Amino acid sequence: MQKKIALIGSTGSIGRQVIRVAERYPDRFRLVALAANTGGGLFAEQVGGIRPAFAALRTEGDALAVPAGVRFARGEGAFEEACSFPGADIVFIAVTGFAGLKAALCAVRAGKDVALANKESLVAGGEIVMPAAEKAGVKILPVDSEHSALWQCLAFDRKAPFSKLILTASGGALRDVPLKKLPYVTAKEALAHPNWQMGAKITVDCATMLNKGFEVIEAMHLYGAPPEKVEVVMHRESVVHSLVAFEDGAVLAQMSYPSMELPIQLALTYPMRLRANVAPLDLASLGALHFSSPDLARYPCFALALACAKEGGDLPCALNAAGEVAVRAFLDGQIKFTQIAEIIEDTLGKLPRRPAESYALLEETDAAARRLARGRLR
C-alpha cells in the first residue's frame, strides 16, 4: 500500500531530500500535498512534476499556474490545511523555525503521524506538542540525525528505558578558529561546515552549538529525559550520530557517513530498512574516531541553551526566537559572530518566565523575544 505524504517545507534542504526519497520508491510513497513558505520557481517546478492533490503557499500573493487536478491555495489557512490534509497518512514537517510548531500542532490535532525534521517545534513547544500527540494517539517520528540515531538505538521505541542519551556534536565550521579570532569571522566562514550540507540558519547554529543545545531540549521531549540524562560529546568525524547508554553499562551507537537521507527515509519506511543513497561505512579507512568534552567558553550559546533546557517553560521558545533574529543579523552582516550569544543572553535576561501552556502564549513569547532582540541590533 502506498503511504500518502503531506510535505510541509518542500523547497528547503530537507524537503528536497524527502522528494528524492519518495521518488526512489514510487510504489511505496505518494506526495499528496506540498506546502512552502514563499514559493518561487522551485515550488512551481515541484508542483508541476509531482502533481499533488493540494499545493499551498503560506504567504499571500499571486495565484500559481498549476497543472489540472492540482488545487492551489495560499495564506495561513491554506498552510494549516496542508498540515492537516485529510488525504495524508503522514505529515512530514521540513520547514525551519517557529513555523514548524504550528505545523506540528495542526498535524497532531488532525490525528496525523508526524515525521519531524523541524526541531524548533519541540524546542519552543515540546511541552504542548508531546502531550497533544499522546492525547491524539499519533506517532512523532524523529528525523534530526541525532534523534533518529537515538530512536534506532532504542529499537524504535521512544518510551524504552535507558540510563543516558549521548548526543554527538561536530563543533561546526569554526571549531579550530582561535577564540580571539571568532569576533572577526565572516558568514561565509561560519557556513563552511566540515561534514554536513544544510541550510544557512542551522549551519550557523552548528558553529555556535546553539543547534546542539536545541537538540538536548528536543531529546528531552522525544524520550522523556530529564536534563541530567542527556549528555553531549564532541565528535569531529560525524560518523557516530548519537549513542544510548543502558542500565547494565552497554552503550549502543548508530554509525554511518553523514547523510540526512538515511534518517529521512527511515522515518518513512520504519521499521523496514530499504536501500538508501549512503555509501557503506569503511571503518578501516577512517582509522580513528575522536571524542572529547564540549568547551563552554568557545560555545556560549550552547551554555545558554543548557540553562534554558533546565528551566523549561517558555524560555526555550524565547531562546529560539532570539537566536533566529541574531543569526539572521549575522548572516546579513549586521553583527559580529560573537554578538549572537550576547543578543540571546540579553533578550533572555529581559523577558519574564511563563509556563508554556498554550500556542497563543508561545506566540506572544516568540514575538516579545524577537522585538527585544531586534531592538539590540540598532
Residues engaged in binding Mg ion (CB under 5 A): 144-146
Shortest Cβ 197–Mg ion spacing (Å): 13
Please state the closest distance from residue 32 (CB atom) to Mg ion, in A. Answer: 27
Spatial strand order in the sheet of 164-169 = 230-234, 164-169, 240-245, 251-255
What's the rounded Cα separation, in Å, for the pair 359 and 234?
34
CA distances from 124 to 91, 129, 268, 308, 319 (A): 19, 10, 25, 11, 8
Shortest Å distance, C-beta 304 to Mg ion: 18
Q: Which is nearer to Mg ion, 39 or 172 (CB)?
A: 172
Closer of 148 and 365 to Mg ion (Cβ): 148
**Contact in structure between 119 and 316 (CB atoms under 8 Å):** no
Closer residue to Mg ion, CB minimum distance, 80 or 144? 144
DSSP assignment of 188-254, as one string? HHHT--SS----HHHHHHHHHTHHHHHHHHHHHHHHT--GGGEEEEE-TT--EEEEEE-TTS-EEEE
Contact indicator for 35, 9 with CB cutoff of 8 Å: yes
What per-residue string of b and e applies to 153-162 under the rule 16 or more CB within 10 Å gives b? bbeeebeeeb
Q: Residue 241 CB, nearest distance to Mg ion (Å)? A: 8
Closest CA to 337 of 363, 298, 288: 298
CB of 147 to Mg ion, least distance (A): 7
Residue 75's contacts (CB-CB under 8 Å, 6 or more residues apart) are: 57, 58, 59, 60
Return the number of the residue (193 or 376) whose C-beta is nearest Mg ion. 193
Residue in the structure block whose three cell numbers are 574516531: 289
Q: What is the DSSP letter of 180?
A: G
CB 212 to Mg ion: min, Å = 8
**At its nearest, how many Å lie between Mg ion and the CB of residue 81?**
29
9 vs 39, which CB is nearer to Mg ion? Answer: 9
Kindly provide the b/e burial profile for residues 183-202, where b requires at least 16 CB atoms within 10 angstroms of the residue's own CB. Answer: eebebeebbebebbebeebb
Nearest CB to Mg ion, comparing residues 146 and 237: 146
Closer CB to Mg ion, 146 or 324, in the complex? 146
What b/e string do you get for 289-322 counting C-beta neighbours within 10 Å, with b at 16 or more?
A: eeeeebeeebbbbbbbbbebbeebbbbbbbbbbb
Q: Indicate the residue among 57 and 167 with the shorter CB distance to Mg ion.
A: 167
CB nearer Mg ion, residue 50 or residue 210: 210
Distances from the Cα of 291 to the Cα of 282, 331, 334, angstroms: 19, 30, 35
Q: Which residue is nearest to Mg ion (CB)?
A: 144
Nearer to Mg ion, 50 or 309 (CB): 309
- C-beta of 206: minimal distance to Mg ion in Å? 8
Nearest-approach distance from CB 279 to Mg ion, in angstroms: 20
Q: Name every residue whose Cβ is closer than 8 Å to that of residue 185 and which is 6 or more positions away in sequence.
A: 174, 177, 337
- Tell me the closest approach of the beta carbon of residue 146 to Mg ion, in angstroms: 5
